[in-house]
């Protein structure tokens, strides 16, 4: 409810004297808050919703029926998005795990229509209309989110600052996850201004303590090798088992020889004699365990032996299950590609892949890319 509506309600209150009403209105005028302040601009559809309940009507002629009995059931709603959101609030409140919205950027270039009128750069209420538009829809979106739900909102510099403050108010600044910055264009190579090549995706959650994101799997370039343990341990890479240690990191107990396949002894750093400052990363006992469990590899290069340990995708160096994912970063960018002489861009990372849904059997995660 905006201040104008509250003023009207106070004026219409029964049981209060005009003096008491005046006192309440005075307190309301003095009320201050941190954040956005704008003049609310009512929408025609908003006024209509005060008297009419939106009802969804199925168009069976447009239904796409799958032969798979286990196929997910998707719904496409055609109509005013405020009416659609209002109807969903009756049936899906607190049930939605992921929301993605791509609202008008309010560039002033005829991309934003309010009350059936194009809002251009000459409209002095351009930002107020946009904030009124977004405020109503974001508040319903918050109602729809489950307690572990996440919302992604695309935007650019025209309204990014205002949107951040609005979302802090609607969802709470403690539920802000990140602002994903992604390169949307290569930009111009002419002119003497700083070229803007990025857009944003603001990410909020209904409850920061309950939202969880999957990590980013290791690059395919990291784990390339395979052996007979691939099913249990996954692919692996090789890491040298010896290191040169400096100062307090050196340990005399880790400067011992290991027997090579040809019967010779090899100390850390190479050779058949101790090398000052060199250590194996594993103890004698651990090395023997590694040999017994196929975690150690010997390689001979130019008559010199080297000792490696296998680092697997799925297990650590004690053969225990491990999660080797790393957090996603909030800086994403396009890769430039060229097809038949036409230059374009391909989104390098799928930003929604890292959403973790607790009941995974109820959801089918699908990857998609855009070009």
| pLDDT tens digits, 249-307 | 899 999 999 999 999 999 999 999 999 999 999 999 999 999 999 999 999 988 899 99
State if pTM tops 0.75: no
Angle of the 160-171 helix axis to the 126-144 helix axis, nearest 10: 40
Question: Tens place of pLDDT for every residue, the chain, 371 residues?
Answer: 566 666 677 777 777 788 877 777 777 666 666 678 888 878 888 888 888 888 888 888 888 888 888 888 888 888 888 999 999 999 999 999 999 999 999 998 888 988 888 888 888 889 999 999 999 999 999 999 999 999 999 999 999 999 999 999 999 999 999 999 998 887 777 777 888 889 999 999 999 999 888 887 777 678 999 999 999 999 999 999 999 987 778 999 999 999 999 999 999 999 999 999 999 999 999 999 999 999 999 999 888 999 999 999 999 999 999 988 888 888 876 544 444 445 444 444 444 444 443 333 333 333 333 33
Q: Containing H/E element for 239?
A: strand 236-240
Beta bridge partners of 342: 339
DSSP three-state, residue 363: coil
Q: What is the DSSP string of 253-317?
A: GG---EE-TTS-EE-TTSSSS--TTEEESS-HHHHHHHHHTT-EEEEEETTEEEEEEEEESSB-T
Name the pairing type of β-strands 96-101 and 145-155. Answer: parallel
DSSP 8-state class, residue 37:
-
- The Cα–Cα gap between 270 and 10 comes to 87
Q: Cβ(306)–Cβ(320) under 8 Å? A: no
Closest CA to 309 of 278, 268, 281: 281
281 token code pair: 């990363």
Q: In Å, what is the CA distance from 307 to each residue of 83, 252, 261, 265, 276?
A: 67, 19, 11, 11, 18
H or E element, residue 4: helix 3-12
Cα–Cα distances in Å, from 100 out to 157, 207, 238, 298, 356? 19, 17, 41, 51, 15
d(CA 288, CA 139): 62
């Amino acid at each position: 409810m905006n201040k104008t509506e509250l003023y009207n309600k106070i004026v219409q209150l029964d049981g209060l004297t005009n003096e008491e009403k005046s006192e309440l209105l005075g307190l309301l005028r003095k009320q201050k808050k941190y954040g956005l302040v704008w003049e609310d601009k009512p929408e025609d559809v908003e006024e209509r919703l005060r008297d009419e309940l939106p009802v969804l009507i199925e168009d069976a002629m447009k239904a796409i029926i799958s032969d798979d009995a286990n196929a997910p059931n998707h719904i496409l709603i055609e109509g005013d998005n405020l009416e659609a959101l209002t109807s969903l609030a009756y049936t899906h409140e607190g049930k939605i795990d992921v929301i993605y919205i791509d609202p008008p950027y309010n560039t002033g270039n005829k991309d934003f229509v309010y009350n059936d009128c194009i809002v251009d750069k000459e409209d002095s209420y351009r930002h107020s209309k946009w904030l009124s538009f977004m405020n109503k829809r974001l508040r319903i979106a918050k109602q729809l989110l489950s307690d572990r739900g996440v919302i992604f909102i695309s935007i650019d510099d025209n309204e990014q600052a205002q949107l951040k403050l609005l979302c802090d108010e609607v969802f709470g600044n403690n539920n802000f996850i990140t602002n994903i910055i992604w390169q949307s264009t290569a930009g111009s190579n002419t002119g003497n201004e700083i070229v803007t090549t990025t857009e944003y995706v603001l990410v909020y959650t209904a409850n920061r303590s309950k939202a969880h994101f999957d990590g980013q799997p290791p690059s395919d370039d990291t784990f390339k090798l395979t052996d007979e343990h691939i099913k249990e341990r996954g692919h692996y890479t090789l890491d040298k088992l010896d290191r040169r240690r400096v100062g307090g990191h050196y340990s005399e107990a880790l400067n011992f020889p290991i027997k090579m396949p040809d019967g010779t002894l090899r100390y850390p750093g190479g050779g058949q004699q101790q090398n000052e400052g060199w250590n194996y990363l594993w103890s004698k006992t651990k090395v023997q365990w590694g040999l017994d469990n196929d975690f150690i590899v010997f390689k001979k290069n130019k008559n010199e032996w080297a000792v490696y340990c296998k680092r697997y995708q799925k297990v650590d160096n004690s053969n225990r299950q491990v999660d080797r994912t790393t957090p996603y970063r909030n800086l994403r960018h396009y890769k430039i590609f060229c097809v038949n002489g036409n230059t374009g861009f391909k989104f390098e990372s799928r930003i929604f892949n890292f959403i973790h849904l607790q009941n995974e059997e109820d959801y089918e995660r699908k990857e998609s890319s855009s070009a």
